[in-house]
Structure 1
Amino acid sequence: MENKDSRVLALCILGILSWARSFSGAAGARWVGDSWELVVKNAGVSAMHMALTHTNRVIMFDRTDYGPSQIKLPGGFCRKNPRDLALKVDCWAHSIELDLTTSKIRPLTVMTDTWCSSGAFQADGSLTQTGGWNDGGTAVRKIGYTGLDDWKEFENSLAAARWYATNQILPDGRQIVIGGRRQFNYEFVPRFRGEGVHPLPLLAQTNDPEAENNLYPFVHLSTDGNLFIFANQDSILLNYKTGKEVRRFPRLAGGPRNYPSSGSSVLLPITAVDGYKAAEVLVCGGSPQGSFQNVGLGKFAQALQTCGRILITSPNPQWAIENMPSPRVMGDMLILPTAEVLIINGAKFGTAGWGVARQPSLGPVLYTPETRRFQEMTPSAIPRLYHSTAIVLPDGKILVAGSNPNPGYSFVGVLNPTELRIEKYSPYYLYKGYNFRRPHITNIDNANPKYGAAFKVTFKVATAPTGVKFHLYAPPFVTHTYSMNQRMLVLGSKPPVAVGGGLYAATVVAPPTGVIAPAGYYMLTVINGGTPSPSAWLHVD
């Protein structure tokens, strides 16, 4: 009787929360049920770049020529580099690994300058990282996932210096590296014999004098195997194999959306319901034309408040304009386990760059693609501006780190000090009132399914499941407001069947091809009545 009463009470609370959430979306009021926690007081390194491995370790790094960090290299080792612009003999770490299980920090050794670089995970779970500044511009770096690995670096491995470029993993397992400062082209990693750079006219066409506004272009692998590439306000579909522009999309109005007028973008979840055919892109935030030039004059323009949403697989694609609750520049966009989009970090005025943003955007915004509604969420007390990052964790929380709008580690006498604290944000779906319908994965009979293969997922839940879905999420490489290679699939599945003891089993079908899901590690989440389970790792190839 007590258990039944508890469930009735939970249902009542959930009903009130659902009503409040719906009301907050319409009225713009803040939602309750989400929360923040401080997990690391001093990481030693500010997380300009961040990525989550399938062994639940987070790799973070900034740049090597900032001068001293706040954590020493292990074993008394000192990096000796006559080309370094800050310290020729450097005993400080500029990269770290965070173990999510223990919250312990392990310093890593990176030799070449990783400033404003890019990367992506390989099929085996290792991280390949490319480019940067100074001696790192043509470097390729790799790191494993065991908790014992450190950076391995291969200088002069790129055909062109890549600073502010974007990486995308391809169906064949290679990476394409697109753009970078004064690089209106792309190349592949690794390169086949005889390969060099391939011209990309879009980047030359979208390069604004004295501002650029086309760095870190947004790149998404479409469901037809071509690449959607967005730079400044323009976008194309590129056949990267032939170098030909397949189609050009209408211009997105409002102003520039790429660095330094930094907005962000996601490919909305693709689904087995339509055979993974429809592909829709969302671009949010940015700065008006001329903003970057004006910040040097002490004029900080209000950031863009609009988002553009476009079905890139439509015969007649057009941008639909939607409005966020407030303007935002330098906002990270993350696909949550629920298939909603979280917009987090950034500022309301100015642009990306050192000390040129004003009024931090402390509160995340939740976007629900199905209803096209935005909701303001509970704010943090810590500003996260230029060089901040955020990623989705397997437990559904969001790891938030970084923010250093200063040319070095500065803690006093600056408008926004260098930030070394790491937080976790718990979205509304982790509220305890949802626990009665929260599933927990107990077994996956094949955690390495081949493309198109069926596998069985067993999960436990306190009440009979309803509306069960299975979401597959590719963890991204995150820097400068953009989550490279972020991808979510709604997998095909059969209704779950009770197998006793509160357990249910469902047959799920893996993605069909590497075009839909490039080989690698993904987080699998069970959704029950809109409430997500903690995720389990799955390798698809």
Structure 2
Amino acid sequence: MLVEWNTVTSAVCSYNTHRINVIDIGATLQPESDCNMPCSGNSSEICGAGDRLTYYTWGGSPLYVWEFPTGNDAGLYEFLIGGVVVPLLTTASTNGKVTFLEKYGIGPPNSTGAYKLDLTQINNFTAAWRTMHVKTDIFCSGSVILPDRVGRQINVGGWANDATCGVRLYWPDGSLGQPSTNDWEENVNELSLQAGRWYPSVMVMANGSLLVVDGEEGSNGAPVPSLKILPKVGPTIFCDYLDRTNPYNLYPFLAVLPSGGVLITYYNEARILDEVTLETTRTLSNIPGAGTAMLLPQYAPYTDPLTIIICGRSVPGPEVALDNCTIERMPSKRVETCMVALPDGTYLILNGGQQGRAGFGTSSDPNLNALLYDPSKPVNQRISVMANTIIARSAILLMDGRVLVSGSDPEDSCYPQDINNTDWAYGQTVPFTITSNSSGAIRVSLIGAVSSTHGNSMGQHTIFPAFSCSGNFCTVTAPPNAYVSPPGWFMVFVLDGPTPSFATWVRIGGDPANLGSWPDYPDFTVPGSGPVEVWKSPCDGLTC
């Protein structure tokens, strides 16, 4: 496994270098001979003298090139239905509906803390929105979709007291257009975390169990610098590196590595953990940034190094947001960045603020500018500046390929492909049929199930698997193992050129940790370990 932090460095010596507009500040250029003091760190270089500052100009090709699409190419925003909640955590469920979680018990409109939106009912406000319930405050908790047969959503941690130990489960039910009846299940006296956590991250490991990392003892409390496994296995594991970097490391980024082990990035540091002991096996060099992280696409045959991009953050102290990614610059600065993996392998970067940090009233100057990041283009030429959003909130990918920004909504559409097998084994070859005319530029992508909060897309994963077609009959080959693709749920898109189909949800890798039979308490309903339940699509019974 090779992990590299690609960063742009400067070939200047260790003195004050300023790019100065000499006209704006009234400065005048002086002879180079006036700069005659040797640098303290490198006596072979000159570091100015006599209150002189070295002024540099660049005469080569532009260091950064951003594209500015117009019209439809810049993106289109639609307001389709009013909302009932300002969501803190947003998740696309495996039945096509969207769940929202928000701070519990603060009064209307967010009095229950949990809501569900049926994306097919936009013309019927009452049918579109369903009020659900949690028992403790999920504010700044962590979520992920389980690899069990029904794709339950788990939410852990929370605001204070019992909420920080909370473990909440929701079994999505009801196809699109049909009512749902299930609600969140929670009983902190039966099922709880071993150590309460506010701002934790959670991830499905290669063995199918859950890794819960980091946090604090409630709002702005003492650090909880430890790791734990769900279902419970042994004690929590203390991490001095998390203790040392608190509070800048909250919601650390986690990823299973194709060669084995777990990558954790926290503040501006990173290391690889043994997947069994969770002890450090390798400490990586510091990251040139500490913002939102995303895995870039993996392509069959999965021999290239795993690439991770980290964009945006703010600096401690003045908390001014930065415009940096790990390998290039963005055209605007942002903190609490949202990055949404799109079916074609690009990423939508949006939302966040230009000043401050996460918390009540601690972030200001919202960044409404949306960017499209295309990793297939050369470095420093990958970003296009898209149409501005009107709100700066969480964003997730929907089954029709559009992005939901706190209350947008897709129209009904049909599958241009027919995938009936929704439970894939590693390496399995799965047939599907293209049921509409195509240009022949076909691709298949797998987008991991995501829960989005605070610029952290827990579960994000983009894979372009091997596939082949003969006419309209095609086959796709599932990823080879749990290190390339940890067990879990994915949206499968078939793309005709740049245009994605309506997605099909599939489970890859099964449920090796038998989470479908967990937890064994009377207050929790479990689906068992049988085959997946298949949700009906809006296209069932129609000719697409």
- Give the TM-score taking structure 1 as reference length: 0.74
Q: Counterpart of 2:335? A: 329
**1:89-488 map, 5 Å:** 92-103=111-122, 104-124=128-148, 125-134=151-160, 135-146=162-173, 147-155=180-188, 157-181=192-216, 182-192=223-233, 195-207=234-246, 212-253=247-288, 257=290, 263-275=291-303, 278-292=305-319, 301=320, 303-308=321-326, 321-371=327-377, 372=379, 373-382=382-391, 384=392, 388-401=393-406, 422-424=407-409, 440-466=415-441, 468-488=442-462
Q: Counterpart of 1:533? A: 501
Identity over the aligned pairs, expressed in percent?
28
Structure 2: gaps spanning 5 or more residues = 1-63, 123-127, 174-179, 217-222, 510-544
Residue by residue, what CA displacement relative to the aligned partner does 1:102-150 show, whole Å, maximum 9, x if unpaired?
1411000111111110011111200111110222111110001102210
**Alpha-carbon distance in 1 for matches of 2:188, 2:144:** 18
Identify, as 1 or 2, the structure richer in helix: 1
Q: Residues 27, 239 of structure 1: CA spacing in aligned structure 2 closer, same or farther, 3 A cutoff?
A: closer
The amino acid of 1:306's aligned partner reads N
**Alpha-carbon distance in 2 for matches of 1:439, 1:489:** 23
**Alpha-carbon distance in 2 for matches of 1:215, 1:223:** 25
**Alpha-carbon distance in 1 for matches of 2:185, 2:66:** 51
Corresponding residue SS for 2:85? coil
CA contact (8 A) 2:431 2:476 kept: yes
The amino acid of 1:154's aligned partner reads N
1:485 is displaced (CA, Å) by: 1.1
Q: Counterpart of 1:497? A: 470
1:228 is displaced (CA, Å) by: 1.0
Corresponding residue SS for 1:114? coil
Moved more, 108-117 or 517-526: 517-526
Q: Residues 463, 143 of structure 1: CA spacing in aligned structure 2 closer, same or farther, 3 A cutoff?
A: closer
Q: Counterpart of 1:510? A: 478
Q: Residues 379, 52 of structure 1: CA spacing in aligned structure 2 closer, same or farther, 3 A cutoff?
A: same
The amino acid of 1:186's aligned partner reads L
Residue by residue, what CA displacement relative to the aligned partner does 1:421-464 show, whole Å, maximum 9, x if unpaired?
x23599xxxxxxxxxxx995331252222211101121144344
Q: Residues 267, 535 of structure 1: CA spacing in aligned structure 2 closer, same or farther, 3 A cutoff?
A: same
Corresponding residue SS for 2:243? helix
**Alpha-carbon distance in 2 for matches of 1:376, 1:329:** 17
Residue by residue, what CA displacement relative to the aligned partner does 1:259-285 show, whole Å, maximum 9, x if unpaired?
xxxx3110111121334x521111000
CA contact (8 A) 2:102 2:114 kept: yes
**Alpha-carbon distance in 2 for matches of 1:327, 1:527:** 32
Residue by residue, what CA displacement relative to the aligned partner does 1:327-379 show, whole Å, maximum 9, x if unpaired?
11111111111111111111222222222333211121110011141111111
Corresponding residue SS for 1:136? helix
**Alpha-carbon distance in 2 for matches of 1:520, 1:57:** 18
Identify, as 1 or 2, the structure richer in strand: 1
1:520 is displaced (CA, Å) by: 2.8
CA contact (8 A) 2:261 2:275 kept: yes
1:286 is displaced (CA, Å) by: 0.1
Residue by residue, what CA displacement relative to the aligned partner does 1:288-339 show, whole Å, maximum 9, x if unpaired?
23235xxxxxxxx2x110001xxxxxxxxxxxx2001111111111111111
1:30 is displaced (CA, Å) by: 4.4
CA contact (8 A) 1:291 1:351 kept: no
Q: Counterpart of 1:408? A: none
Structure 1: gaps spanning 5 or more residues = 1-24, 72-91, 258-262, 293-300, 309-320, 402-421, 427-437, 499-503
Q: Counterpart of 1:38? A: 79
Larger radius of gyration: 2
**Alpha-carbon distance in 2 for matches of 1:463, 1:231:** 44
**Alpha-carbon distance in 2 for matches of 1:439, 1:459:** 12
The amino acid of 1:52's aligned partner reads A
CA contact (8 A) 1:64 1:94 kept: yes
The amino acid of 1:334's aligned partner reads V
The amino acid of 1:509's aligned partner reads T
**Alpha-carbon distance in 2 for matches of 1:61, 1:139:** 14
**Alpha-carbon distance in 2 for matches of 1:126, 1:118:** 14
Corresponding residue SS for 1:282? strand
Equivalenced residue count is: 419
The amino acid of 2:301's aligned partner reads V
**Alpha-carbon distance in 2 for matches of 1:215, 1:152:** 26
**Alpha-carbon distance in 1 for matches of 2:71, 2:286:** 37
CA RMSD of aligned residues (A): 2.2
The amino acid of 2:261's aligned partner reads N
The amino acid of 2:68's aligned partner reads A
**Alpha-carbon distance in 2 for matches of 1:376, 1:278:** 28
CA contact (8 A) 2:214 2:242 kept: yes
- Give the TM-score taking structure 2 as reference length: 0.73
CA contact (8 A) 1:229 1:235 kept: yes
